[in-house]
Amino acid sequence: MDSISCKAYGKINLSLDVVGKRADGYHLVRMVMQQVGICDSIEIRKTEGTDISVSTKSGEIPTGPDNLVFRAADVMRKTFGITDGLSIHLVKRIPVAAGMAGGSSDAAAVFRGIRDLYGLPADNRRLEELALPLGADIPYCIAGGTQLSEGIGEILTVLPPSPSCTLLVVKPDLYIATPAVYKAFDHIPEREVIHPDVDAQVDAIRKGDLFGVAKTCGNVLEQQTGADHPVIGQLERFFLSHGALQSIMTGSGPTVFAIYDDHAKAEQAMEELKRVESFASFQKFVTGFVPGMDA
Ligand code: ATP
């Protein structure tokens, strides 16, 4: 086999809580990560030389060593003594800098893809260990699906698949830098922080209770980001007044998602949203939850 094709799915945070900070400045989180049906496609091909090359038509991401897929390939080559060159082609569909772990998911796909291309003896646990130094969300993305992520993202508990639903995802035209969001969060006095009930959400997932999952959604990072960017609240109110069970921001934003138990209602809400002029340029998706990958 000279090449392999893989899919890299985006994620949303059904809940995201920050519960502390490590001495090195990393935030300690508790979050329910959920893979969704918006995906990048990646092709990894062995080449004659000894270099790693990355190509993509997306103008929004780097193609050199700053691209996370380059770094993932580099770690795999060094760890397993691979001497072939590798060319990696990336078709980007996950919105960039959106709170959907697009870069992390691409990197995870490259860890899995190189393992499978060479038949390497590395299970998902081993790949998660190798991935953590590249980014705290990458270990989750190795298996994806529905997981509780704790610590800085390295303590993972696989959960049963979330009950199915129709999901609307909208990425406003805003660039929000993740470090700035965490910095702003650090300035909110603890007594004013509204923490989501992550344990109640995990219970609801275990019971297959979509209404319980929707009711317990919450993102501690939204307090500040929502105040700074009113469009986030505007989108959520739109969805809630158009039949959604729930609507919140994912990750460090600015993407907003809405959960529907009725597919027709969700389609209709998206059609109506498309007619709102101030939302016209936003990226929009009708999708759902996607189960995780074994191994
Ligand atoms: P997270 O939810 O993990 O915070 P995000 O969705 O906010 O991630 P990404 O789309 O992963 O953000 O992009 C964050 C930054 O990473 C971008 O500024 C981009 O230039 C850089 N980056 C490096 N490699 C990639 C990649 N393969 N895909 C997307 N972005 C990448």
Q: Work out the average pLDDT over 181-208.
A: 95
Cβ(216) to ligand 1 under 6 A?
A: no
Best residue for ligand 1 mutational test, from 11, 29, 68, 111 (most atoms within 8 Å of Cβ): 68
Q: What does the pLDDT look like over 140-161, one tens digit per residue? A: 999 999 999 999 999 999 999 9
CB 221 within 8 A of CB 256: no
Q: Best substitution site from 36, 61, 63 to test ligand 1's pocket, by max atoms within 8 Å of Cβ?
A: 61
**Backbone torsions φ then ψ of 35, nearest 5 degrees:** -75, 140
Residue with tokens 């529907």: 260
Is residue 290 a contact partner of residue 194, using CB atoms and an 8 Å limit?
A: no
Q: Which atom of ligand 1 is nearest to the CA of 94?
A: 10
Taken in order 111, 295, 288, 160, the sign of the CA dihedral is negative
Instruction: Please report which helix (H) or strand (E) contains residue 38, including its range.
Output: strand 27-47
Instruction: Name the residue at shortest CA distance from atom 19 of ligand 1.
Output: 61
Q: Tell me the mean pLDDT in the region 213-241.
A: 96
Residues in the chain, total: 295
The pairs formed by 278-282 with CB atoms below 8 angstroms and a separation of 24 or more are 278/231, 278/234, 279/170, 279/172, 279/235, 279/238, 281/173, 282/170, 282/171, 282/172, 282/173
Q: How far, in Å, is the centroid of ligand 1 from the Cα of 60?
A: 9
38's tokens: 């918006």
Quick check: 269 pLDDT over 90?
yes
Residue 1: band (very low, low, confident or very high) from pLDDT cuts 50, 70, 90: confident
* One-letter amino acid of 277: E
Residue 119, classed as helix, strand or coil, is: coil
Question: Is 11 labeled as catalytic in the residue annotation?
Answer: yes
pLDDT for 118 beyond 70? yes
pTM: 0.95
Percentage of the chain modeled with pLDDT above 70: 99
Does the structure show a pLDDT above 60 at 112?
yes
Q: Residue 275: its pLDDT value, please?
A: 97
Catalytic (active site) residue 92 = no
pLDDT in tens, 189-198: 999 999 999 9
Provide the token pair at 20: 């502390």
In the predicted structure, residue 295 carries a pLDDT above the cut 70: no
For residue 176 and ligand 1, the question of a CB distance below 6 A is answered with no
Helix (H, G, I), strand (E, B) or coil at 120: coil
> What's the pLDDT tens digit per position in 28-77?
999 999 999 999 999 999 999 889 999 999 988 999 899 999 999 999 99
Tokens of 143: 């298996």
Strand partners, 125: none
Residue 181, pLDDT score = 93
User: Residues with Cβ < 8 Å from 227, sequence gap 6 or more?
Assistant: none
Find all residues with CB under 8 Å of 197, minimum gap 6, and list them: 15, 216, 218
User: Mean pLDDT across the stretch 95-122?
Assistant: 97
pLDDT over 80 at 294, yes or no: no
Residues 6+ apart with CB under 8 A from 268: 242, 243
Residue holding tokens 């995906």? Answer: 39
- Sorting pLDDT into bands at 50, 70 and 90, what band is 219? very high
